[in-house]
Amino acid sequence: MRDSRRLSLNMAGLYVGVVVGAAVMLFPFLWTVITSITPEGSLSGGPTLLVKNPTVNAYRALMDAMPMWRIIANSLGVAVVSTGLQLVTGSMAGYGFGRLKFRGKNVVFALYLATLMVPLQVLVVPLFIEMKTLNLQDTYMALLAPSVASAFGVFLLKQAVEGVPRELDEAATLDGAGHLRIFTLIILPLVRPALATVAVFAFMGSWNSFLWPLVVMRS
């Protein structure tokens, strides 16, 4: 009984800590929303959590100044498509590096991981020249092309694939399953947490991307 009570208290303390931490993390976003609906921002009556006479004039002025709905739709669409492409390429490459045997696999994987050390700023000019040569500048394809594959996603999914017992592959092979069925029916369901992690990072990376769209887009 003492152990169960102690466990319950520990869990309660853990939940309280998580809730408090979440509140602290969400407070800046709440403050941003409150400031945006405050008349004249927070300059007139000072900072406050209770807004008197809330207004959406700031949002109306923003919508009149630029096509914000189109901008949000573009960002959302590109982020979703980029995330989907990275999940497909990352999971397939992770399966290839984690399960298949071929000559030079470790060397190729090391070279691929080495691209993580190359910052985007170094690649902007060559990528722009390439897109201009292919007549892809100022298109959605130009936004998506550099983010079709992610070295971080491949690394994370390779580690997840290697964590799946190989006995499952062997049992499926004895039942007549090939690589495609093993990949889709066994590996993917068992690496869903890693897929979710890659999806979050991929979506955030695409949504927060600024330099590359600024360079390659004109309209």
Each residue's pLDDT expressed in tens, for the chain with a length of 219 residues: 666 777 788 888 899 999 999 999 999 898 888 888 887 765 555 667 777 778 888 888 888 998 989 999 999 999 999 999 999 999 999 999 999 888 988 999 999 889 889 888 899 999 999 999 999 989 999 999 988 989 999 999 999 999 999 999 889 988 888 889 999 999 999 999 999 999 999 999 999 999 999 999 988
Q: Is the dihedral of CA 92, 93, 99, 101 positive or negative?
A: positive
CA atoms within 13 A on the CB side of 151: 13
Residue 61's closest CA among 91, 41, 75, 78? 41
Residue 191's closest CA among 155, 152, 157? 157
Judge whether 52 and 180 are in contact, CB under 8 Å: no
Could you tell me where the DSSP H helices lie in 100-187? 105-114, 120-133, 140-144, 151-162, 166-174, 179-182
